[in-house]
Amino acid sequence: MKKVYPDAETALAGILRDGMMIMSGGFGLCGIAETLSDALRESGVKDLTVVSNNAGVDGIGLSRLLETRQIKKMISSYVGENKLFAQQFLAGELELEFCPQGTLAERIRAGGAGIPAFFTKTGVGTLVAEGKEVREFDGEKYVMERGLFADIAIVHAWKGDTAGNLVYRKTARNFNPMMATAAKITIAEVEHLVPAGEIDPDHIHTPGIFVQRIIEVGTAKKHIEQRTTRKRPETAAS
């Protein structure tokens, strides 16, 4: 099975449709599948439900899909850096399913493992639990959360081989590995593509069995999510 595609547009060809669920990896602006996300924008696919830890920042990442109104619903744990997201949500133009970050990670992991639902104490007695089943175990209340499984997952890895095995670096490992397991089709963009067998098996984070399509994008852009500066001290008089 040939997994390597020449570019993002080709890798997405034939599998997009309006109304689908897409998982988008990364944490903040680290490890986001920016090339694939931009290709989604260019495709014009709409009414998307997107599962992602956050919605990027204005002008970068998933925010570019918000600009074109292609996202109908977000399932996220944090969206505080995106003014456009807030505007659309407050105007009733965008649905939002807020989910505690650890619970979101577990919902994705559960989906990839074929687990339809699980119980957690997180969110009991809060808005998070509204409309959900609550049960008592050993004298403690737990809320039921559903696993998540998407039509497509787009992930970003530091290195990959032609068989689809992936290696992530540092913070990019937060959501990408579990999302790669939790979709019908996983498309990976990698900074460095090497021949199959070149990656030490002990270093592989996502086995190639989970990855159907892969593209090489070169070194990722190093965006700064939030720039904080302070005034430089005055130079001592000579």
The 10s digit of each residue's pLDDT in 118-175 is: 999 999 999 999 999 999 999 999 999 999 999 999 999 999 999 999 999 998 999 9
Q: Which of 155, 149, 160 is nearest to 114 (CA)?
A: 149
pLDDT of residue 211: 98
| Average pLDDT value for the chain | 92
Give the CA radius of gyration of the chain: 19
Measured distance CA(51)–CA(25) in Å, rounded: 8
Q: pLDDT-based confidence at 40, cuts 50/70/90?
A: very high
Calculate what percentage of the chain has a pLDDT beyond 70. Answer: 96
| Residue 25, SS3 per DSSP | coil
Instruction: Tell me the whole-structure pTM to 2 decimals.
Output: 0.90
pLDDT of residue 238 exceeding 60, the answer is no
Calculate what percentage of the chain has a pLDDT beyond 90. Answer: 78
Average pLDDT (79-89) is: 85
pLDDT of residue 222: 74
Measured distance CA(168)–CA(103) in Å, rounded: 22
Q: pLDDT-based confidence at 235, cuts 50/70/90?
A: low
